[in-house]
């Protein structure tokens, strides 16, 4: 069993290193959507993945990318299952993930804490281009379900904000 666990850890590292299809600077591990890797038999692996949003179409690309990565590593039989509970939250994005998002031009989500209360949309969000906190909301919905569209009033650039969930 010890070797199995070591194998699972190794496979987990490989699956977790797959890049997000929409934000290809972020790994699935950093995004916090990996829920587990289990060796269920010889050459057979089951990966659990949770979607950011219930209807996120990227989950299918993620699944096939994970399958490909593990195939290339010599696992012939890979199945990816989607789990909804416990629900993913933007708090599941790692510190490194947040840093990469900002570098990529997407303002990272603000920490939410445990309570699921109203979303404080009026707190300052930093412009990923010039660093100003003087930004305004253009639309709560943007290029993908997980982002809102904002504009920096200092440098005038529009930018995406990974909105809190």
Partner 1 sequence: MSTPGTREATVPTAAALALGDDALILSHRLGEWAGSAPVLEEEVALANIALDLLGQARVLLSLAGDEDELAYLREERSFRNAQLVEQPNGDFAHTIARQLYFSTYQRLLYGQLATGDGPFAGLAAKAVKEIAYHQDHAEHWTLRLGDGTPESHERMQRACDALWRYTGELFQPVDGLDLDHAAMESAWLDSVTAVLDKATLTVPTGPRTGAWAAGAGRQGLHTESFGRMLAEMQHLHRSHPGATW
Tell me the sheet residues that pair with 46: 38, 79
Helices (H), 52-161: 58-72, 95-103
Establish if 119 lies at the interface with partner 1 (CB under 8 A). yes
Contact region with partner 1 (CB under 8 A), list: 20-28, 47-55, 67-75, 95-103? 47-55
Annotate each residue in 86-115 with x if it binds partner 1 (CB under 8 A) or - if it does not, as one string: xxxx--------------------------
For residues 152 and 127, is the Cβ–Cβ distance under 8 A? yes
CA distance 11 to 89: 24
**Smallest distance, Å, CB 83 to partner 1?**
5
Binding partner 1 (rule: CB under 8 A), the pick from 24, 41, 42, 55 is: 55
Nearer to partner 1, 27 or 63 (CB): 63
Closest distance between partner 1 and the C-beta of residue 49, in Å?
A: 10
Nearest to 16 by CA among 58, 55, 48: 48
| Three-state secondary structure of 22-43 | CCCCCEHHHHCCEEEEEEEECC
Chain positions contacting partner 1, by CB under 8 A: 48, 51, 53-57, 59-60, 63, 81-89, 116, 118-119, 121, 138-145, 149, 163, 165
């Amino acid at each position: 069993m010890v070797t199995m666990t070591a194998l699972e850890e190794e496979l987990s590292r490989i699956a977790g290193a797959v890049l997000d299809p929409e934000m290809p600077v972020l790994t699935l591990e950093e995004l916090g959507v990996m829920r587990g890797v289990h060796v269920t038999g010889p050459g057979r692996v089951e990966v659990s993945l949770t979607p950011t949003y219930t209807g996120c179409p990227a989950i299918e690309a993620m699944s096939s990318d994970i399958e490909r990565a593990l195939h290339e590593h010599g696992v012939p039989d890979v199945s990816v299952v989607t789990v909804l509970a416990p629900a993913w939250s933007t708090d599941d994005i790692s510190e490194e993930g947040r840093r990469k998002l900002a570098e990529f031009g997407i303002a990272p989500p603000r920490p939410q804490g445990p309570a699921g209360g109203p979303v404080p949309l009026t707190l300052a969000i930093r412009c990923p281009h010039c660093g100003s906190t003087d930004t305004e909301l253009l639309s709560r919905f943007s290029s993908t379900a997980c982002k809102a569209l904002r504009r920096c009033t200092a440098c005038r650039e529009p930018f995406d904000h990974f909105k809190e969930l």
